[in-house]
Structure 1
Amino acid sequence: MLNLEWFRTFKVIYEAGTLSAAAQALFISQPGVSLHLSSLETYTGNRLFDRDTRKMIATERGTMLYNYIIEHMNKLEEAENIFHRRPKSEKSTVSVGMSMEIFQYILEEHVSELPFNLITRFGDHAQLLQELNNGTLDLILTPHKGSQHNLEYTPFTTERIVLICGGKTDTTELNQLLAASDMQAVKDWLTTQVWYTTAADMEHLKGFWSASFNGLPGFRPNYVVPHYGSILRCLSNNKGFAVMPDFMCRQEIAAGLIKLAWAGSPPVENTLYFGKRKVTACADEIKQLEAILSKKRSACTEKVLN
């Protein structure tokens, strides 16, 4: 019968390059590694490596086998890490998915205070939702609710998507056009301006533009930067435009570093949700995280309003 440990050994040999290095990585003897490999080669009926004095070189069939199993082996190893039994004295680990901006703005300063281990992942909403569903993540912050029956969503906050500009940007003409309700002229004027956006997400810009002008932006942003924090630093006491959630830029607006150029018409709002599985082994830890995030969010809003 096929032994899955043969695949694990084969994977490590392929990646380590030698039998001795594979034995060291697997904490087994070198003869044991050789036995697993020979058993797998006998089972497949193919030589998987050419033996060299210094290195094991994968054959064509060996490379094909590695490429076929690597994704599945990584998934099995990840499942092994998540589900293996831990001592009661060991801290639990919670995996959370959110945007980098929300992490930096709300959670980052509290990480060292958490009484449990934390793994944070950044990705697009579809990816985070999939990882929550398959158990890789325990909690996500997302504007999109999935239809999976085993997941539940709790509203966290409502974000308004607004148009901002650098503190030195002259918005006199824009204000005049908005006052005259000449939306075509507003659209044409904005199209000629300097624009910033993020590398991972143009969804906010497209949504704002679509709501205001009934179409997608017909220009290419001048500067594509890693995240919203970069946009704020680039625009501070400078010139240019960007679209982003209001709660991420309120402090900079209050300090006069950037300006609220236009709230949009009609306003564009998104609800952010806590997403989690209905049955989870870390319900208490998730409640603590939700409380920290909600408290920090309320404190930031109150500080700005005051």
Structure 2
Amino acid sequence: MADFEWYRSFVSIYKHNSVSEAAKSRMMTQPAMSQHLASLEAEVGEPLFLRMSRKLVPTERGKQLYSHVAPLIESLEETTMSLKAASLPNLRMIKIGAAHEYYQERIVPLLPLFQTCTVSYFGTADQLLDLLKEEKADLVITSKKYMAPGIEYEKLCDEQFVVVAPESVRAPETDSLKDREQWLCGQTWISYGLDLPIIRRFWREHFKKRPLIKPVHILPNLHMILKAIRSGAGISLLPTYMLGETAGGPANVVYGDMSVRNELYFAYKLKHKHLPEVKAAMKLIRKHT
């Protein structure tokens, strides 16, 4: 007879495409996780994953089993955690971490809708993960997924970044990627960091190469970058949700059909997944994103 824990391990491996990462998420040893999978495959009578070089790919039987088992596992875990949470004192506040710019644009307008007090933290993806590990934050919004024991992620949304220029700047109308790249390379660039985050991804996605540009200004704050663009200091890539601002004057989206997406995730401690305050905050933020 199959053990319930085998199914929990199977679902975790399916989500992470890796025995080692699944083991970390469940705070188990890798050999124990491998044994769970081997036992379940023996019970089913056929492989549930194909072993590739760096990840596990589910077989058709694995996909079928996951579609049946995952909702049941999730429902049972949610019921168990809800009963456990009901016996705990309610959180008097929820501690939320995010990038400063995202928090200002997306979270601040929602504060009147929160049903509890909030404490806010800002930082890079690395800093936010540290806050979560140290339990200084209950919920963080991050663009990077770092596998760590007891940490779980859920996708929130995709940010869309576009090239933004001063209102007076007009790019030549052309469908030629070569001409577009030549024009973009000739502009004054403003970057969030010296390693050209998001700019490098934009170049790889659309021009299939690394950018041959050197930014003139480094401003590690998207709101400052937008203000600098509006003052005529140069061009950069910005998320579209910031372009609704009117203060400081208009800005001009250049080659709007060329954009790049950046995934955002909720991250939380697995043991806090079903706390009412965490679930309510995630639901509210997702609803208004």
TM class by shorter-chain length?
0.5 to 0.7
Deviation at 1:193, TM superposition (A): 0.8
Picking from 257, 263, 275, the partner of 2:250 is: 257
Structure 1 residue 234 corresponds to structure 2 residue 218: no
Corresponding residue SS for 1:147: coil
Deviation at 1:156, TM superposition (A): 1.2
Any conservation in 2 of the 1:194–1:241 contact (CA below 8 Å)? yes
Deviation at 1:167, TM superposition (A): 1.2
Deviation at 1:252, TM superposition (A): 4.7
Question: Residue type of the partner of 1:227?
Answer: N
Separation of aligned partners in 1, 2:185 and 2:155: 35
1:101 is matched with which residue? 101
Deviation at 1:139, TM superposition (A): 0.8
Structure 2 gaps of 5+ residues are 1-88
Deviation at 1:214, TM superposition (A): 2.8
Deviation at 1:182, TM superposition (A): 4.1
Instruction: Please give the TM-score of this superposition, normalised by the length of structure 1.
Output: 0.57
1:224 is matched with which residue? 218
Question: Residue type of the partner of 1:291?
Answer: K
CA shift in 2, pair 1:91/1:286, >3 Å:
closer
Question: Residue type of the partner of 1:137?
Answer: A
Separation of aligned partners in 1, 2:120 and 2:131: 12
Structure 1 gaps of 5+ residues are 1-87, 298-306
Aligned-residue Cα RMSD (Å) equals 3.1
Alignment of 1:1-306 (within 5 A): 92-111=92-111, 114-171=114-171, 173=172, 175-176=173-174, 179=175, 181-183=176-178, 185-198=179-192, 202-236=196-230, 238=232, 240-249=234-243, 251-252=244-245, 257-263=250-256, 267-280=259-272, 283-297=275-289
Deviation at 1:281, TM superposition (A): 8.6
Separation of aligned partners in 2, 1:225 and 1:128: 20
Any conservation in 2 of the 1:95–1:119 contact (CA below 8 Å)? yes
Question: Residue type of the partner of 2:221?
Answer: H
Any conservation in 2 of the 1:194–1:222 contact (CA below 8 Å)? yes
CA shift in 2, pair 1:182/1:274, >3 Å:
closer
Separation of aligned partners in 1, 2:233 and 2:214: 17
Greater C-alpha Rg:
1
CA shift in 2, pair 1:281/1:188, >3 Å:
closer
Count residues in correspondence. 201
CA shift in 2, pair 1:233/1:140, >3 Å:
same
Any conservation in 2 of the 1:125–1:144 contact (CA below 8 Å)? yes
Provide Cα deviations, 1:95-125, integer angstroms capped at 9, x if missing partner: 2221111110011233355443322222221
CA shift in 2, pair 1:241/1:116, >3 Å:
same
CA shift in 2, pair 1:135/1:252, >3 Å:
closer
Question: Residue type of the partner of 2:285?
Answer: L
Separation of aligned partners in 2, 1:261 and 1:295: 30
Question: Residue type of the partner of 1:295?
Answer: K
Identity fraction in percent: 22
Greater per-residue helix proportion: 1
Separation of aligned partners in 2, 1:201 and 1:245: 18
CA shift in 2, pair 1:252/1:117, >3 Å:
closer
Any conservation in 2 of the 1:205–1:244 contact (CA below 8 Å)? no
Separation of aligned partners in 2, 1:200 and 1:223: 9
Any conservation in 2 of the 1:212–1:264 contact (CA below 8 Å)? no
Question: Residue type of the partner of 1:105?
Answer: E
Question: Residue type of the partner of 1:195?
Answer: W
Instruction: Please give the TM-score of this superposition, normalised by the length of structure 2.
Output: 0.60
Separation of aligned partners in 2, 1:109 and 1:294: 13
